[in-house]
Structure 1
Amino acid sequence: MITSVEEALLQARENMTPFFDAADGMRRDLEARGWSPAMAEQVAAKFLILIMTGGRS
């Protein structure tokens, strides 16, 4: 039996998946354009933080 906490966590993960996918896509695109993996990761992480905080980081 799934508890309400487990259900809430599963729902949160499902709702956040598009954001993680967008950040991963951004990172891959930046790397394909010649950015270093470390810099692309930093930009994608900042993008993800801005999405999650509504632009208040």
Structure 2
Amino acid sequence: MFSRAPDEPIKGLDVAASLNHTPPDAAAQAEEWQQAEERQQAEEREQALAQITRGMFDLTDGLKPAFDAGDGMRADLIRRGWSEQAAEVIALTWLQRTVANMTPLIGSPQ
């Protein structure tokens, strides 16, 4: 039934070699993992930066009318005879309140 003697080793199977098998260089593997992690972190930073940039542009678009109205209010007060300093203070106070109302998380006392 068997073509080999019981004490004869199986061809192609070297138990000693398989027991002494050394894994791939651990330092090289750790460096590869570190580089992969750094690439992933860089990608996540780029995505976060893009989201922040889009959010800031959206915020700018939303606040632009308030700043334009504040500038118009200041110019109107000066045209009506108010001093530049008084017109600036009034327009700035109005603008601060308006922005606080437009952005409740920033403007609300917590």
Bin of the TM-score, shorter chain as denominator length: 0.7 to 0.9
C-alpha separation between the residues in 1 aligned to 2:97 and 2:50? 31
Letter of the aligned partner of 2:68 in structure 1? Answer: D
| Partner in structure 2 of residue 34 of structure 1 | 81
Query: What is the letter of the counterpart of residue 43 of structure 1?
Result: I
Secondary structure of 2:62's partner? helix
Identity %: 33
Q: Alignment partner for residue 93 of structure 2, among 46, 52, 57?
A: 46
Q: Which amino acid aligns with 2:88?
A: E
Once superposed, what is the RMSD of the aligned Cα atoms? Answer: 1.8
Specify the structure having the higher radius of gyration (Cα). 2
Matches within 5 A, 1:5-16: 5-16=52-63
The aligned length equals 55
Q: Runs of 4 or more off by more than 3 Å in structure 1?
A: none
Look up the match of 1:22.
69
Q: Give the drift of 1:16.
A: 0.2
Partner AA of 1:25 in structure 2: G
Q: Which has the higher helix share?
A: 1
CA distance in 2, matches of 1:52, 1:27: 16
Return 5+ residue gaps in structure 1 as ranges: none
SS in 2 for 1:3: helix
| TM-score normalised per structure 1 | 0.87
What amino acid maps onto 1:41 in structure 2?
Answer: E
